[in-house]
Amino acid sequence: MKIAVLSDIHANIVALEEVLQDAKQQKVDEYIVLGDIITDLPFTNETIDVIRELTPYVIKGNREEYLLTYERTKEDEKWKTMQYQSMICYYNRMREDNRDYIRKLPQELVLEFEGVTIKAVHGSPYGVSELLYFHTKRMDKVFEDLEEDVLVYGHNHEIAEYETRNHKTVVQVGTLGMHNSTSKAQYVILTCEEKKVSVEIRDIEYDKEKLKNRIIQSGGLYPEARIWQNLCYYSIASGIDIRTDFCQMAKEEMMKKYKVKYPKGFDSHFVSFDDDIYTKVAHEFEKYFLL
């Protein structure tokens, strides 16, 4: 049995369509989706609709958690800042049935195919937003704690890889729709047979210009999402993650403004930048805006 594992689609419907076409050609039987289905590109409902039809084996990522956090705490002042307007606009344009779908997604799954047990998480077994990497002490703990035969995870947007220790396999499945170190969409096929598993990493080239035109033609370049969407598209088209550079510069500017004291709400994952800082840094990055 062949199981395709997809992660970090980020509403990149063009990459998703190419990956699903490849998976069909590879005669995949089942699909597991590791979250971050949405945000960053404007094809929210289209992407969710495809995933809902594709498989029941879907979990939340940190992006889905962010939208649900907004839903619970809309009155919080931080949501009024420019930084969060892109995420809010995606939430507002999501159909209610798709919001309800996101609400009901689990944070992890344990599945079994052909006698092989698979644990599916987004960030790590310890948290949806934890960044997990090979060749670290944290990964040693993951292998020690793993009760299933296979662990699959995404979130860190690094190139797909895997490792087997003592008959346990951990798979970093790569990112399908929002690339850091490659311009290709990545996913993984697990072949399960007679209680054994093999791993194949799939690299799929797709047309970035088609994605660009589809964004423009859809009217999806929402004014409130313009800055972040341009950063995301450039990262996809180039394989260079300028989003991280943008956030790092904004952090540095925030630290200067507040004399190195972190402002309230400032952390490494769900950062809150002041509007003047966000605008200033966006101006520095406009040379990368392609939309």
Domain boundaries, the chain: 2-204, 222-288
97, two tokens: 């049935």
Q: Which residues pair with 185 in a beta bridge?
A: 204
Query: What confidence score (pLDDT) does residue 239 get?
Result: 87
Phi and psi (nearest 5°) for 190? -100, 125
> Mean of the pLDDT values across residues 95-119?
98
Query: Per 3-state DSSP, what percentage of the chain is helix, strand, and coil (rounded to 5)?
Result: 40, 20, 40
- Other CB atoms within a 10 A radius of the CB of residue 57 amount to 17
Domain spanning 2-204: CATH 3.60.21.10: yes
Q: Is the pLDDT of residue 260 over 70?
A: no
Residue 264: pLDDT band with limits 50, 70, 90: low
> Mean of the pLDDT values across residues 87-94?
92
Residue 111: pLDDT band with limits 50, 70, 90: very high
Residue 31: pLDDT band with limits 50, 70, 90: very high
Report the candidate in 98, 156, 87 with the shortest Cα–Cα distance to residue 122.
156
CA distances 251 to 224, 232, 248, 254, Å, are 21, 18, 5, 5
Q: Is the pLDDT of residue 52 over 60?
A: yes
Mean pLDDT score across all residues of the chain: 92
